Structure 1
Amino acid sequence: MSTNTWFSALKKSAIAIVGAATMIGLASPATAEQPSGAPDGEVGTQVVGGTRAAQGEFPWMVRLSMGCGGALYAPQIVLTAAHCVSRTGANTSITATLGVVDLQSSSAIKVKSTYVHRSATYPTATGGDWALIKLASPVNNVPTLKIATTKEYDNGTFTVAGWGAASEGGAQQRYLLKAQVPFISDSTCRASGGSYGDLIPAAEICAGLANGGVDTCQGDSGGPMFRKDNAGQWIEVGIVSWGEGCARRGKPGVYTEVSTFAKDIAAAAARL
């Protein structure tokens, strides 16, 4: 899709960079403290129709201070969305919070960033809404989340999690929420109309309920969509990217297809 159309459909961040429109978030009684504005990134979305995750259930989940989510790819590297950051280069303005489901917990691990690598193909017709954030020090006591390297797991039912809004138009969350969403074929996704007609099949994957009600939302941008592999281990197959609104009927969530960019992600990580 065109750059303007794509930015207007971003639903996973509340404050979009490069003049993008503000997206709708999800509401909840428990609201996380909003991070101060940063030169890079935007505030993302949260899980609609979700339930609270247990402490330690998804230990590799990361909350980024610009309001996006992410996953610990390596002890010193977080995988997130390209639209959460503005450029590749040195960056010490981002704080990653790990190790907790409650963002206000005194047990939270907080580490500053030192460098950001933003996908060189974002935003283009090739797709590539992914980015890596290098941390100032490794987090060795938190498990990492491996990524899919083939399309073998790009199907079935996925789990999503985040601290974003819990309803369209709502606030960011204090506690990590989780939900399950089923795979939607590219043809069905494109038939949803609007921005979905410009879906990039080779680079994006759709998931959601036909009748809506469960979805990622503002504040969830950059967070992982994951499932179990054949060995029963969690594997990241998608990165929260965009969609029209949150949990609307016939308007699924769109995720970066991680397997498409797995080699590029690994190569970039090796250089950090």
Structure 2
Amino acid sequence: MMELLEDVLIRCSECGSVIGIHKEEIEFDAFAYDHGENGMGDEIEYRHDGVIVCEECGNEIQFRISGFEYPVGAYNYDDHEIYGGDFEESPIVGIVYSQEEFDIDCAYNEFNRVERLILEISDNPDLIYNISPREFEEVINRVLQDEGFETDLTQATRDGGRDIVATKYEMGKPIVFYIECKRYGRRNSVGVSIVRSLYGVQTSDQINKSILVTTGHVTRGARRFVEKQNTMMSILDVNEIHHLIQRSAMKYR
């Protein structure tokens, strides 16, 4: 769900007084919008409609703060409006993931399993070609977390062209990445069709950037296509993957 990441400060347009609202006092209502068969499922709007009265002059200030999640699990954008006052700074909202039932023992064992994989691949890089595609996704998911990303590993059967949704915050704003993982053999190639498909999903969902992570050979056509997208796409090849794995392994040791 969405929640405010910082407190809200509102300046009254009548007397200039500043009114503070603690972020925990802002509660959001959720509204789902169906984009039909051509969409990526429901778009969720989290919205707070608020009214405050200035204690100094009695001016009534109405405001709205919204955050949008589309597809479900990926931050899209936020919006706000105010009447009778001004926001001192734009409200900052973000997705907060929660799990009602959490088995700490299961989570700890799962963490250790992926950690052991990273340590083993760090010692013997060729092992990366022996793990399953799902294990490869789990390893990449973990090293991204170690690099400061918040991640959501999608289900193994239906990822819609995105294996991992990764979020990083810059200047308080979330930047969302779609990560596509291809655990290929040394002789298998990633062609331009794969990066075109990934870019299509990215642009359709209005995501900031996509990254193809692969152990296979990347063709010249695929690299040229990615380069044309400038900062909107990038590729991590097997050498860069091993570099990230080494960085994570150093932390675990």
Structure with max Cα Rg: 2
- Comparing both structures, which one devotes a greater share of its residues to helix? 2
TM-score range (shorter-chain normalised) is: under 0.3
TM-score normalised per structure 2:
0.25
TM-score normalised per structure 1:
0.24
| Structure ranking higher on relative contact order (CA contacts 8 Å, 6+ apart) | 1
